[in-house]
Amino acid sequence: MSNLDGKKVLLGVSGGVAAYKAVDLASKMRSAGAEVKTVMTESACELIGPKSFEAVTAGQVYTSLWTIEEYKIGHISLADWADIVVVAPATANIIGKTANGICDDLLSTVLCVCWEKPLIVAPAMNERMWNNPVVQQNIEQLKQMGADIIGPESGNLACGTTGIGRMTEPTDILERIKQKL
């Protein structure tokens, strides 16, 4: 498939500095023909505003379990809507929640429902966090559950060091989405 015409992508954005790259990813997915809905964690909203995603996706951004239409069970309707779910950036926090079934915000709750859908996870964090045995255990758990882990990459990190932990570039994530669909 050369494009994403008619495909529905649910983009989860967690609170990593790489959240700014997720705006580019959302724009690229939309340009490729996908319909994109975005779910942001509270921490992601501290780093980049939902309006940026609204502008590039021409759609509502979901930030809370309590702001979706009253007559729908929001996390279920978002999960049912999607053809594929992409989490970029995926922090150690959201990776741990997903691997262990913790549902304490909209994104983690949606991810608990979406386990039967194609899931692409693009980790982004400090190298020491990435190499933490618990994070690696959680990554292995996600893989066993069928998640496709893309990255992280090596390079300059937000903390000023160089190492593994950079989120994979949006163009590469887009290509992986096309492969999965």
3 within a domain of the structure (yes/no): no
Q: Which pLDDT value is given to residue 2?
A: 55
User: Has residue 2 been placed in a domain?
Assistant: no
Residue 161 belongs to what domain range?
8-180
Q: What is the pLDDT of residue 159?
A: 81
Is 1 part of any domain?
no
**In the predicted model, what is the mean pLDDT of residues 121-145?**
97
Percent of the chain with pLDDT strictly greater than 70 = 93
Which amino acid would we find at residue 91? T
pLDDT at res. 1: 41
State how far the Cα of 15 lies from the Cα of 17, in Å rounded to an integer.
7
Active site residue 112: no
Q: What is the pTM of this model?
A: 0.93
State pLDDT tens for residues 18-64: 999 999 999 999 999 999 999 999 999 999 999 999 999 998 899 98
- CATH at 19: 3.40.50.1950
81 inside domain: yes
In a domain, 36, yes or no: yes
Residue 38 belongs to some domain of the structure: yes
Question: Does 149 map to a domain?
Answer: yes
Mean pLDDT within 140-149: 97
Question: Would 96 be classed as within a structural domain?
Answer: yes
**CA distance linking residue 157 with residue 153, whole number of Å:** 10
Q: How many domains does the chain have?
A: 1
Tokens of 76: 């279920």
The per-residue DSSP string of 97-140 comes to: HHHHT---SHHHHHHHHGGGS-EEEEE---HHHHT-HHHHHHHH
Whether 71 has a pLDDT exceeding 80, the answer reads no
49 vs 44: CA distance, rounded Å: 8
